[in-house]
Structure 1
Amino acid sequence: MSKKLLLGIIVILIITNIASLTFWNSEEQPSGSEEDEGGPAINTKEPVATIGEDEITYENWMSSLRSNHGEKQLKTLIDHRVVNQMANDKGIEIDEKVIDREVSMLTAMQGVMTEEEYDKAQEGWREDIRYRYQLEMLLTEGTEIPEGDLQSHYQTYGNQYNVTPSMQLSHIVVEDEETANKVKEELDSGASFDMLAQEYSIDEETRDNGGYMGYIFTTSQFFPNGYKEKVAEMDEHSYGNPFAVGNNYAIVYLHKSLPAIDFTYDEMKPYVKSELAMHELDQTLTADPLWDELDIEWVYGE
């Protein structure tokens, strides 16, 4: 399944879950049309699908959503509101640098993403990361961890909190300058980089995957010689001019560049403390214990 198709399915599921919550307390089928932002207009009086002469009504659809996803989705929304409200009341803020670190790690786990896909994914990631750290701090509030234990943990694992700079690259390697210039002209005319890689590249390890090399640490011995200097001059989501690589020529595409992110002990101390406290309390990362501290009523009971 392609990433675009998978992303489309996820978007549709999100839209339908939101729709189920919007009409949660309706006792009779709504009339007229509804339109989700970025989604199709829905006439609630008409079937949402037909299979031959068989019809699936809007009411069938909403009932199924409520039965299969409603409680879980509503609880997730409540959990996030609970944590957000309590964190605001207690002044618990998460350093954007810490969130940047987590976003960088998540980004490095992805394949090729367009700039639009990355921006959309990053927005959700940042919200989830902030929620997780705030939840940890709320659950471990009041738990004391000796300073010596914090320093010892950081001295042992401190480097793991840092992010090593890396670049997400694709390349097309050809035998001579003439072929390289021909490929560059086709790229300039709008040809697909990955299709040209499959057609022209002599690098057997990446050719069948459109020249994709993945994320490579800039400090790694596996970062190709001569590439770093050329890529440093490029913008993300762009390719450069052909250049000599040994006896061959290469054209490199820079998908994404992830900078270094380094932390001091003082910067990471609050997060190390909540991490160790979660372990000491043997606490599951759930907002359930926080519900008792707020006045919460919902359709599934107290």
Structure 2
Amino acid sequence: MKNLKLLTAASLFSAMALTGCQDRLVMSDSSPFGEGVVRLGDTEVAEVDGTKIYLSDVERTAASQGLIKEGSPLTPGQPVFQKVLDELIDQRLLALDALRQSLDQDDETRRRLSAARERILGNVLVENHLKNTVNETTIRRMYDEQASLRNRGDEVQARHILLKDEETAQDIAKKLADGADFAALAREMSEDEGSRDKGGNLGYFTTDMFEAVFTNVAFATPKGEVSAPFKTDYGWHILQVQNRRKAPEPSFEEMRSQIVNFMTYDEIQNILKSLRAEGDVKLLFGQAVIGSESVQPETENSE
């Protein structure tokens, strides 16, 4: 599954001028850091050379850095709050000084600001789309649909002893037939370092978790019995089947992050394919690959 990393407006700063149809929502050159945008219900937490930094700026930045969960509140008493606020103050001081030096009028600066604005707008579009398509209702529906399709069959719980040659395997098989303790022999004789200290215990496994020769013997051996020695690419084995059960279904909580990742990637691909199909795109150089990783927007949190 693709790891997707959403960018938010708070992780980039912009000194660009935006215009709108309502005067109260207009950002102008005299208010380059959102001073002209209405912040209903937001709290001012710092003032830097006449410009404001708001609580939502701190929370959004902390979330983008992975310091808090998206939507979690912050209070001035928290260490994370002060750390992020200090960063935003430093960032604002640098930006204001850049404006005083008219660096925003430089051609390279304008190109970079334009690119940042383009990324932010694209990511906001994706975020709004995902709010409607990847939510608790659709995630639960996907889990339920997949649950009806899953059939993991049975699981076997077994111990095994791995040995170098057939002669040694036959000798161990005779000792087991005479009543020797399987776990004790596994600790003493098994070549499998991963299970030896656990008395050869492999836990529960399904038919697709080991090579076919091994699982065929395991699933053919009745519960409580020991298999005859058999050979695989790793050496000679003796198995003791301890239990057999129907493979449990993973819970919604266990599957949720995987479903979110899959649905997020799928929805981003869908919206990109749709926009490419509807858009007027003319290639002037090179070859575009529709649906490749190269056309994914960057994203921030993927659960």
TM-score (norm 2): 0.33
TM-score (norm 1): 0.33
Q: Greater RCO between the two (CA within 8 Å, min separation 6)?
A: 2
Higher Cα radius of gyration: 2
